[in-house]
Amino acid sequence: MLSSTAPRTVATRLFALGAVLTLGTLSLTACGGNTSSTGSTGGSSSDKIGVSLIVKTTSNPFFVSMQDGAKKAAESGGVDLKLAAGKADGDEDTQIQAIENAISKGDKGILITPNGPSVVDALKKAKDAGLFVIALDTPPDPADAADITFATDNFAAGELIGKWTAAQLGGKKATIALVDLFDDKIVSVDYNRDQGFLTGLGIDTADAKKNGDEAKTGKYTGGQGGDYELVGNQASQGNEDGGRTAMETLLAKNPNINVVYTINEPAAAGAYEALKSAGKEKDVLVVSIDGGCTGVNNVKSGVIGATAQQYPVKMAELGVKAIVDLAKTGKKPANSEGLDFYNTGVELVTDKPADGIKSITTTAASDICWGK
């Protein structure tokens, strides 16, 4: 038989146990939430500004540098940064899924290097959901699919290497191979760089948004001027293997090629290997665009004659900062004067300067490659 004090003792113990369980539940609730954010420091992710960076691919060091720039900006800006990338250059489906994820997570903004026109509808959906969309490096088409683009003036970059190439030719006939990005989709970075290069050489272009429709022969007017022949355009997918295959195909069409334009430096490295295998590396001038540390070293060693350096770290840092400023102050970034994007700059890199064409040396370019 229990004493008269037993019921109160049991009740007291049960109450205490319930209090402990309640506190434990509250503690678990407070510790819950998303703890897997990338590039954020201190505090819970709910206190941070959600930003998704969606690059073309991480197989290209250009976009890895862009991620590094975004991480650096996120650490100082109170940003919950999520990283995503296509499986390869041109993979639109993976980018679309990443955009959908950013919408569902309630991010404040998206930074994206679009892999092709199919992402445009998803970007419009993100804008309709209230996300601020910033394109990096590659403006979407139409440009207003993003709220703003932070990018190199890709036409100007191509034009710089075209002018330099014309100066190097000294009036000789130019037998030109063009190693582009895609042949199954149209993206602005592809046609702007390609046609900027031809314009710099002094070759008339046709459709502003189409590669390969220029007159195949004629006169170039850059430098001292001379005759030209366009051997053809081949896609590389922006990688070394693609550049090698493209160059092999073009050499099979015409073994007398003496000028090679490439969309980027990985494609240039592949093209050079094909030229070397054919014993023609000393007879051909290769030019490119990117200005990464590896590419600058290839200019220094003579693999590439000149490249146009751009600044992906700066693009990403400015993009993250723009979304932070918008979230905190409501202020939106503005385009560069006279352009429909924010120009992050470009420099011609070569150790063989040409009169009247502004350039920097490989030593100077190595100190700033990709805005490190």
Counting beta carbons within 10 angstroms of the beta carbon of residue 321, is it exposed (0 to 12), middle (13 to 18) or buried (19 or more)? middle
| β-strand partners of 343 | 151
Q: Which residues of the chain have pLDDT under 50?
A: 1-44
Please write the tens of the pLDDT for every residue from 77-115: 899 999 999 999 999 999 999 999 999 999 999 999 999
Secondary structure of residue 298 in the 3-state scheme: helix
Q: How many CA atoms lie within 13 A of 74 on its CB side?
A: 27
Alpha carbons 307 and 290: distance in angstroms, whole number: 7
Taking alpha carbons only, the member of 64, 72, 150 closest to residue 111 is: 150
- The CATH architecture of the domain made up of 45-152+313-333 is 3-Layer(aba) Sandwich (3.40)
Alpha carbons 74 and 206: distance in angstroms, whole number: 43
Q: Are 313 and 69 in contact (CB under 8 A)?
A: yes
**Other beta carbons less than 10 A from residue 250's beta carbon:** 22
Alpha carbons 85 and 316: distance in angstroms, whole number: 14
Which residues make Cβ contacts (< 8 Å) with residue 339, sequence separation at least 6?
A: 153
Alpha carbons 135 and 111: distance in angstroms, whole number: 6
Q: Judge whether 45-152+313-333 and 154-309+346-371 match in fold.
A: yes
Alpha carbons 259 and 178: distance in angstroms, whole number: 9
Per-residue pLDDT at 260: 98
| β-strand partners of 363 | none
Structure tokens at 268: 């240039």
Spans of all domains in the chain: 45-152+313-333, 154-309+346-371
Alpha carbons 296 and 364: distance in angstroms, whole number: 10
Structure tokens at 199: 């314009």
CATH 3.90.700.10 fits 154-309+346-371, yes or no: no
Question: Cα separations (Å) of 364 from 61, 80, 164, 254, 292?
Answer: 20, 35, 18, 36, 12
Alpha carbons 172 and 167: distance in angstroms, whole number: 10
Please report where in the chains the tokens 């959906």 appear, as a residue: 125
Which residues make Cβ contacts (< 8 Å) with residue 55, sequence separation at least 6?
A: 63, 66, 67, 83, 84, 85, 86, 112, 113, 136
Please write the tens of the pLDDT for every residue from 1-56: 333 333 333 333 333 333 333 333 323 222 223 323 333 333 445 689 999 999 99
Q: Are 181 and 187 in contact (CB under 8 A)?
A: yes
Provide the H-helix boundaries in the chain. 6-31, 61-77, 92-105, 120-128, 154-169, 188-201, 240-253, 265-277, 293-301, 312-329, 362-368
